[in-house]
Structure 1
Amino acid sequence: MFKLAPMNRYSAGNDAQYHNCHIPCRLNAIFTRDSRRVCCRSRSRTGRSGAIAFQGQALVWLAATVAFLALLAVGRRRGKPPEGIALSTYMALGIGLHNLGEGLAIGTAFALGEIALGSFLVLGFTLHNLTEGLGIVAPLLKDKLRWPTFLSLAALAGLPAVVGIWVGAFAFSPHWAALFLGIGAGAILQVMVEVGTYLQRRLSQPDGSGLSSLGIAGFTIGLIVMYGTAFLVKF
């Protein structure tokens, strides 16, 4: 859907084209889909729908708030928002923490015998992680970096999902699930704040650009796919 510009042809519009489409979808998804997943899994494993559901939601919001503020403080410890490789690293870290919760959901689905649901989650997470990868490398378009750097960023963003699958499959707990998903939600929110700040600076430059027709089309298609796949998943 989105094409990454060559490394030697940097333009701020390339960043805007991706992030203007991606950020609103992620903000809507993290606090609805993940919270609902925690509550539904808690009910199915414990049978105490009232108290556990409330505790799960409260723990998600608390963990998300703490994770967001902690990562934001670390990222701006030098008094300014991160740029370049620092921004990409914080994005990969935030996405990795978020993927930890996604791996937890996949592992839990397989542990409960929901093979179809687990396979569907793998497919859905794979599709949207492709676009997250584009977002990680977007701030690096003007830098000449070696492949080990990109592999390190990919590992930082992707390997936590493997850990989440193991935890979800062999040591599931609804309270740990709420904690991990809350941390992931706060981390991805911090990513969107930093990217939004980065885009605001880039778009204020002479070579910056606003929303393009391709970006609007991608945003619309993303919403349709997100809600369309959500209707197909039965909790």
Structure 2
Amino acid sequence: MLNFLESFSPVQQALIASLFTYGVTALGAGLVFFFKTINKSILNGMLGFAAGVMIAASFWSLLAPGIEMAENLGQVPYLTVAIGFLLGGAFLYLVDRLMPHLHMGLESSKAEGPKTSLQRSILLVLAITLHNIPEGLAVGVAFGAAALGDASGATIAGASVLALGIGLQNFPEGAAVSIPLRREGYTRGKAFFLGQSSGIVEPISAVLGAYAVTVIQPILPYALAFAAGAMIYVVVEELIPEAQMDSKLGKSSTDISTIGCMIGFTVMMVLDVALG
């Protein structure tokens, strides 16, 4: 697989890898053809797993290589990653305020962002799309960094592991979109279409990220930290609260999402350390 990727440019590598992560989202959304409902505890565990993967990826695949790269480029490592990390969070904060969206399980009146007449289904998909912007960006930046070889400390193997980890958490995330939509009365076909649509932004942001860092190499450490900050913002602001939203399930609900987060973190860490 790595030999196959090495024959392409960094932008093409990012596109291929992000099409994989999008495809896994579509596979997860395809579960709607087999299930009409999903147990809330299972959904919480899925969201917790996704959060754990994103937290681990933020450090092992983004911040750590960013620090090493900043040192190799003669930058002040702690200052570079701090600026990039905070800018990533600020970017998602602005997108969160400027893009109308609705989190799963909430009434339409609680939609966030500007007032809009968009359908509830579109608002739900836009909420998940916010998750996928930093994920695609992270994949693109990782392959862009790998193009520098020894100068960056990043490798195609490491970028591929990041794409694999994001793909793993995209599977339950796709199901977490489509199945609740089916429960709300949408047809299986429409629920699947909307569920997989949330992942389309990943190839777009991946290609943009890879292209930007290959054209302007000094921004690579900032870009890696930027992607990490955006991912952590999504985890803290959306994934974890959604994973623990249903108070009817009591403490067992938070336990399940917490265990899912621990497992997701461990899986991503092992993949990155062992294979990356």
TM-score higher than 0.5 here? yes
The structure-2 alpha-carbon separation of the partners of 1:176 and 1:68, relative to structure 1 and needing over 3 Å to count, comes to closer
- Tell me how far 1:228 sits from its aligned partner: 1.5
The structure-2 alpha-carbon separation of the partners of 1:66 and 1:89, relative to structure 1 and needing over 3 Å to count, comes to same
What is the correspondence of 1:1-235 to structure 2 with a 5 Å cutoff? 4=31, 6=34, 8-9=36-37, 11-23=39-51, 25-26=52-53, 28-29=55-56, 31-33=58-60, 34-44=62-72, 46-48=73-75, 51=76, 53-74=77-98, 80=110, 85-112=122-149, 114-137=155-178, 139-143=180-184, 144-145=186-187, 146=190, 147-172=192-217, 173-174=219-220, 175-192=222-239, 195-196=242-243, 199-200=244-245, 202-204=246-248, 210-211=252-253, 219=261, 221-232=263-274
Is residue 140–residue 206 contact of structure 2 (8 Å, CA) maintained in 1?
yes
Moved more, 98-107 or 138-147: 138-147
Is residue 47–residue 260 contact of structure 2 (8 Å, CA) maintained in 1?
no
Cα distance in 2 between the residues matched to 1:155 and 1:76: 16
The structure-2 alpha-carbon separation of the partners of 1:27 and 1:119, relative to structure 1 and needing over 3 Å to count, comes to closer
Moved more, 71-80 or 222-231: 71-80
Secondary structure in structure 1 of the residue aligned to 2:183: coil
Cα distance in 1 between the residues matched to 2:183 and 2:63: 38
Residues 152-177 of structure 1: CA deviation (Å, up to 9, x unaligned): 22212443223323334444323344
The structure-2 alpha-carbon separation of the partners of 1:128 and 1:148, relative to structure 1 and needing over 3 Å to count, comes to closer
Equivalent residue letter for 2:123: A
Cα distance in 1 between the residues matched to 2:165 and 2:49: 18
Q: Give 5+ residue unaligned stretches, structure 1.
A: none
Cα distance in 1 between the residues matched to 2:49 and 2:166: 17
Cα distance in 2 between the residues matched to 1:213 and 1:61: 29
Cα distance in 2 between the residues matched to 1:137 and 1:154: 12
Is residue 85–residue 139 contact of structure 1 (8 Å, CA) maintained in 2?
no
- Tell me how far 1:72 sits from its aligned partner: 4.5
Cα distance in 2 between the residues matched to 1:13 and 1:125: 22
Cα distance in 2 between the residues matched to 1:232 and 1:170: 30
Matched length: 223
Residues 104-159 of structure 1: CA deviation (Å, up to 9, x unaligned): 11222134273443444443443333344334435424131525433422212443
Is residue 89–residue 233 contact of structure 2 (8 Å, CA) maintained in 1?
yes
The structure-2 alpha-carbon separation of the partners of 1:63 and 1:186, relative to structure 1 and needing over 3 Å to count, comes to farther
Equivalent residue letter for 2:110: K
The structure-2 alpha-carbon separation of the partners of 1:194 and 1:161, relative to structure 1 and needing over 3 Å to count, comes to farther
The structure-2 alpha-carbon separation of the partners of 1:117 and 1:14, relative to structure 1 and needing over 3 Å to count, comes to closer
RMSD over aligned Cα atoms:
3.9
The structure-2 alpha-carbon separation of the partners of 1:63 and 1:219, relative to structure 1 and needing over 3 Å to count, comes to closer
Cα distance in 1 between the residues matched to 2:223 and 2:257: 37
The structure-2 alpha-carbon separation of the partners of 1:126 and 1:26, relative to structure 1 and needing over 3 Å to count, comes to closer
Cα distance in 2 between the residues matched to 1:213 and 1:225: 18
Secondary structure in structure 2 of the residue aligned to 1:204: helix
Is residue 111–residue 123 contact of structure 2 (8 Å, CA) maintained in 1?
no
Percent sequence identity over matched residues? 17
Secondary structure in structure 1 of the residue aligned to 2:198: helix
Taking structure 1 as the reference length, the TM-score comes to 0.69
